């Protein structure tokens, strides 16, 4: 076969337009694609009989998840968040997507009365929720408290400026945002019913062909065991809890949900809160808000007329 510029160009176009098919598992009623991103197990379900259509949708969802992880991970020096946190007090001009997320985080900070704060991620340096009894000292907490507080940040969209030593962390909204974006990416490839589930935070495109999607809520005391089964036909579910991330000292359980105003764990939150919402981002925020209410979580959810499931024991 004679090589030519046109042939090379056409081959490149075809290669780009037809990405490699991802690995799928055929179940009784759909195709399942499983991968790991954002340090969590991820799955995409596509209810179709067309393997290539399913693969295109699943591949699009995975690509979007990995794009968001690369862009917003606090663990990568080359991410947007890594660049912001390395700015050492300098002003950083953000792209449109990042600016929209920062605007959203600032708005949530305001309506939560400061309970949700993307500058509080720095507290992970002293709070290690590994199931041990290593509770940080008051001196440790005091040493970092001066670096926490959204009101200390200069934010004039699209320019962000942190005080030296401060950091931001979008972990509180990143996974839920990724679910919504991944579902949209998959929906651009197929009209078949879809479900995207990243570590228990999930959203579906609509009902299955023969009814609802069935979702399991994991036990807080026995990981891997099912505490309840839910059905969802539209929208999203998100769960916040301390089944795996906590400290236990002198009979006191310290939840990994931290109050940024005190830099201490919230007192007496539910062990787990699952919330339904139109989007995963909405459901995730409401679940986090509920946990931040501590012993008043159920009252908050009832007052806001939020469909939810709380586990205390």
- Residues with Cβ within 8 Å of 223's Cβ and at least 6 positions away in sequence, in order, are 243, 244
pLDDT values of the chain reduced to their tens digit, one per residue, 313 residues: 444 443 333 433 343 344 445 789 999 889 999 999 999 999 999 999 999 999 999 999 999 999 999 999 999 999 999 999 999 899 999 999 999 999 999 999 999 999 999 999 999 999 999 889 999 999 999 999 999 999 999 999 999 999 999 999 999 999 999 999 999 999 999 999 999 999 999 999 999 999 999 998 877 777 677 878 899 999 999 999 877 788 888 888 888 999 999 999 999 999 899 999 999 999 999 999 999 999 999 999 999 999 999 988 7
Residue 293, pLDDT score: 93
pTM: 0.89
In a shared domain, residues 105 and 239:
no
Domain with 308, as residue range(s), is 212-313
| Selection from 184, 181, 159, 178 nearest residue 95 by Cα | 159
Residue 82, pLDDT score: 97
Helix (H) and strand (E) counts in the chain: 8, 17
In a shared domain, residues 65 and 182:
yes
Q: What confidence tens digit (pLDDT) does each residue in 190-249 have? A: 999 999 999 999 999 999 999 999 998 877 777 677 878 899 999 999 999 877 788 888
Residue 220, pLDDT score: 73
In a shared domain, residues 54 and 181:
yes
In a shared domain, residues 25 and 49:
yes
| Burial annotation 178-210 (CB, 10 A radius, 16+ → b, else e) | bbbbbbebbbebbebbbbbbbbbbbbbbeebee
CATH (domain of 216): 3.10.520.10
Residue 107, pLDDT score: 95
Peptide bond into 255 cis (omega under 30): no
Residue 311 lies in a domain: yes
In a shared domain, residues 160 and 143:
yes
Phi and psi at 49, nearest 5°, equal -100, 0
Residue 28, pLDDT score: 87
Residue 149, pLDDT score: 97
194, 46 Cβ separation under 8 angstroms: yes
Q: What residues pair up with 155 in beta bridges, in sequence order?
A: 160
Distance CA(286)–CA(301), nearest Å, equals 8
Phi and psi at 93, nearest 5°, equal -95, 125
Residue 200 lies in a domain: no
In a shared domain, residues 127 and 185:
no
Residue 2 lies in a domain: no
Q: What confidence tens digit (pLDDT) does each residue in 34-65 have? A: 999 999 999 999 999 999 999 999 999 999 99
Residue 207 lies in a domain: no
Residue 4, pLDDT score: 40
How many structural domains does the chain have? 3
């Amino acid at each position: 076969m004679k090589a030519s510029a046109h042939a090379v160009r056409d081959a490149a176009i075809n290669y780009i337009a037809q990405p490699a098919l991802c690995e799928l598992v055929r179940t009784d009623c759909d195709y399942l694609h499983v991968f790991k991103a954002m340090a969590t197990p991820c799955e995409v379900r596509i209810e179709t009989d067309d393997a290539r259509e399913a693969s295109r949708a699943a591949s699009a969802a995975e690509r979007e998840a990995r794009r968001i992880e690369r862009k917003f991970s606090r663990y990568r020096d080359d991410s947007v968040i890594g660049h912001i946190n390395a700015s050492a007090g300098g002003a950083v001009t953000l792209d449109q997507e990042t600016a929209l997320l920062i605007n959203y985080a600032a708005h949530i900070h305001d309506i939560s009365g400061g309970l949700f704060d993307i500058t509080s991620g720095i507290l992970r340096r002293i709070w290690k929720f590994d199931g041990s009894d290593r509770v940080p000292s008051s001196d440790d907490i005091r040493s970092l408290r001066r670096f926490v507080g959204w009101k200390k940040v200069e934010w004039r969209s699209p320019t962000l400026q942190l005080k030296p030593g401060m950091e931001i962390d979008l972990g509180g909204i990143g996974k839920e945002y990724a679910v919504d974006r991944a579902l949209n990416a998959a929906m651009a490839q197929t009209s078949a019913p879809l479900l995207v589930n990243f570590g228990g935070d999930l959203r579906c495109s609509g009902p299955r062909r023969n009814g609802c999607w069935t979702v399991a809520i994991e036990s807080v005391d026995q990981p891997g065991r099912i505490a309840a089964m839910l059905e969802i036909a539209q929208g999203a579910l998100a769960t916040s809890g301390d089944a795996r991330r906590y400290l236990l000292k002198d009979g006191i359980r310290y939840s990994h949900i931290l109050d940024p105003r005190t830099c201490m764990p919230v007192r007496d939150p539910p062990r787990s809160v699952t919330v339904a919402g139109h989007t995963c981002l909405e459901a995730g925020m409401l679940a986090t808000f509920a946990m931040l209410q501590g012993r008043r979580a159920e009252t908050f959810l009832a007052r806001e007329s939020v469909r939810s499931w709380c586990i205390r024991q």
